[in-house]
Amino acid sequence: MLVTTLVSTPNELQQIHELNQLNLRQNVSAEERQQEGFVSWLYNVELLEQMHQLAPSVIVKDGNDVVGYALATLPEARVFHHDLEEMFQGLEAVNYKGLPLFSYRFYCMGQICVAKEYRGQGLVNSMYQKHRQVYSPQYDFLLTEISTRNPRSQKAHEKVGFQTIHTRMDAMDEWNVVVWEWREERRIS
């Protein structure tokens, strides 16, 4: 039975790391990247633990096995890793609805991934709905960046309700910055 929940144990963080490694862009074939998508960043267990201390991530479990994850990445996590700092610096120049992005209360989806044998079963939507349930009282929207070379991920995010608000380049890739707005009225921090 599949259960969508929050991370609660160190073993779950280890399983996230292992699923992350299996689906890294460099660890999947070009055909698989095109058909199934990929993840861009490697998250080690220490980084996952630091992020977890700020906000637990959402996972889907089949029994004791983590078969999907959706990483909650608060702006405060930027100090934990160079790549997170670079991402948040890149977002500082982005406006949303005519205002600087950082005038809103938001957090980022650090990464979302579903094990191959569980794809196509609605797990992405299930994890995003759990994020909304847990975090929408505190945040105006959820933001993430999607590699423009990952059309499967872009389509999955649009299906949930994300909208592209900006496209930016960094040393790693070209990214669509997408937002899933949870509130009609903006709240300034």
Residue 147 sits in a domain of what CATH number? 3.40.630.30
For 34-55, b/e burial (b = at least 16 CB within 10 A) is eebbbbbbebeeebbebbbeeb
Give me the chain's average pLDDT, please: 90
Q: Tell me the three state secondary structure of residue 107.
A: strand
Rounded to two decimals, the pTM is 0.88
Domain of 62 in residue numbering reads as 2-181
The reply to whether 88 falls in a domain is yes
Assess if residue 189 is contained within a domain.
no
Q: Structurally, how many domains does the chain consist of? A: 1
pLDDT of amino acid 188: 46
If you average pLDDT over residues 26-42, what whole number do you get? Answer: 74
Q: Which two tokens stand for residue 130?
A: 């759990």
Is residue 30 in some structural domain? yes
106 within some domain:
yes
Does the pLDDT value for residue 15 go beyond 80?
yes
- Higher pLDDT residue, 25 or 121? 121
Rounded Cα distance between 121 and 160, Å, is 14
- Whether residue 186 is contained in a domain is answered as no
For residue 188, tell me if it sits in a domain. no
Within-domain flag for 187: no
How do residues 70-106 score in pLDDT, each as one tens digit? 999 999 999 998 888 988 999 999 999 999 999 999 9
Residue 141 within a domain: yes
